[in-house]
Amino acid sequence: MAKTAFHSIHQIVKRIPAGRVATYGQISRMLDGALSAQFVGWALHNAPEDVPWHRVINSKGGVSTRAVLGYAPDLQRQLLEAEGVVFDDDARCDLDVYLWDGSP
DNA sequence: GAAGTGACAAGGT
DNA sequence: CACCTTGCCACTT
């Protein structure tokens, strides 16, 4: 019953289980490419607290909050590590292990 | 009412 | 391998 793709993004992000992560491009494909990855980032910035936006990362497997001065750049990494996601020295996580495949 | 802005990705050169 | 261009929707001024 999502009137807008904006709302659909929140629905998908909420479906991401703890300990898993999803990429902007993947979410874009989940919506059948009905939207652009750029909009996903913007939607997360406007996402309510019910949306675990910290589970959404860029295609490199790293956090993307670098452009958000309102939050700590390491905040997203800290939240993911609290859920069991391990980051490498390059600030990247193993997408082969933590990438959400769309299943719980 | 219209234009600009914004947590990006992917392909091409 | 690295850098540059295009595409997208909703919200703000």
pLDDT tens-digit profile, chain A (104 residues)? 657 889 999 999 999 999 999 999 999 999 988 889 999 999 999 999 999 999 999 999 999 887 787 788 788 999 999 999 999 888 899 999 999 988 88
- Report the distance separating Cα A55 and Cα A44, nearest Å: 10
pTM: 0.92
Q: State which protein residues have CB closer than 7 Å to strand B.
A: A 23-25, 28, 36-42, 44-45, 47, 53, 56-60, 64-68, 70-71
- Which nucleotides on chain B have any atom < 7 A from a protein Cβ? 6-10
- Report the distance separating Cα A1 and Cα A8, nearest Å: 9
Query: In Å, what is the separation between the CA of A67 and the C1' of C2?
Result: 22
Question: Buried b / exposed e across A2-40, counting CB within 10 Å, b at 16+?
Answer: eeebeebbbebbeebeeebbbbbebbbebbeeebebebb
Is A71 (CB) below 7 Å from strand C? no
End-to-end Cα distance, chain A = 21
CA A27 to chain centroid? 8
Strand partners, A22: A56
